[in-house]
Amino acid sequence: MHSGRKLFPLIYVALLAPLVGCAKERPFRFDREVLLPKPVHSHPWVEVGESKIYDASTLEDYINGAARPYLEYGMTQLIHAVYVRRTSPEDEMIVDVYEMASPLAAYGIYSIQRPEKADDVRLGATGFWSDGLLCFVKDRIYVSIQPPGGGPREMLSAMLIAEYIDKQTKLPGSLPEMIAALPEEDRVRHSEVYQAANMLGHRFLGAGWQATYRYRGVTHDLFVIPCMDAAQALDRYEKLADYVSKNGKIVRRVKGVGRSAIVGTGKTTGRLFIACSGRYLVGTVDCFNDERSVRLAREVIENVTRMGL
């Protein structure tokens, strides 16, 4: 009997352990009841009326004339809410929480909204504050908050709401992998942009990445265009090369960079270096140092290969 009483707690723990292990955190839900702070969390701000939900078919009703970029990047839902300061109800804070089709789409819309000069904020995967606008991105969620002014007090008010939303968004807070594949040296901080379509102004190039580099005081852009496969990459490369030859001239062909590479120039293209490697197009715009263009392209190609992108 004595030994039995000793064993009982061990048996009880053994039976209970699997049950404890089964208690998992609930999956994230894009729900205003989950994401928007209540008065106790947003004090001294309080929500006015009921928040509104928009989807792709109704977004124009909210941002008439400005919905196109969000739709191009794959916006699926928007929670729109208005908060006012308890002591001065004329002070309004606009809170917009977007659910995008993918983390890449969310980062894309964030990247085109971020001004060149903005202050970093520690929210989600990355965030900024600039002239009365606080934005951050976390996985497939993009958040935009506009307090009634642009001073430090207003920034703190926006952060109060943003930090709650960030905490309630139970999703990974990581940046797209492609950013790590872009050469870091001389890259202008936060210049990485994901474009959903029309890379370099051409519909046939589809979506891609662009980042600005500053080398010896002069800036130029690096672009990376992922394609479905090597055949599509070659087709897009040939179309771009044909465009350059018809609207400018091909200066020279470059050996040893991917499958094929050229340097071209023209009034509508500037100086353009283009390389086709595997399922990627990589190149530079207005980099007048061809050796540097080649070096950047090779580094990108090596990185995407090493990272398995």
- Give the whole-angstrom CA distance, residue 143 versus residue 93: 13
How many Cβ atoms from other residues are within 10 Å of residue 121's Cβ? 19
Q: So where are the chain's domains?
A: 32-168, 178-307
pLDDT greater than 80 at residue 9: no
Q: Quick check: 107 pLDDT over 60?
A: yes
Q: What is the pTM of this model?
A: 0.88
Separation of alpha carbons 121 and 141, rounded Å = 16
* pLDDT of 3 higher than 60: no
**With contact defined as beta carbons under 8 Å apart, do 185 and 62 qualify?**
no
Cα distance between residue 109 and residue 194, in whole Å: 8
CATH entry 3.50.4 includes domain 32-168: no
User: Which residues partner with 80 through β-bridges?
Assistant: 52, 96
In terms of CATH architecture, what is 178-307? 3-Layer(aba) Sandwich (3.40)
Q: How far apart are CA 62 and CA 53, in angstroms?
A: 10
Q: Are 198 and 205 in contact (CB under 8 A)?
A: yes
Burial of 36 (0-12, 13-18, 19+ CB in 10 A): buried
pLDDT of residue 28: 86
CA distance 202 to 199: 6
For all residues of the chain together, what is the average pLDDT?
91
Banded model confidence at residue 8, pLDDT cuts 50, 70, 90: very low
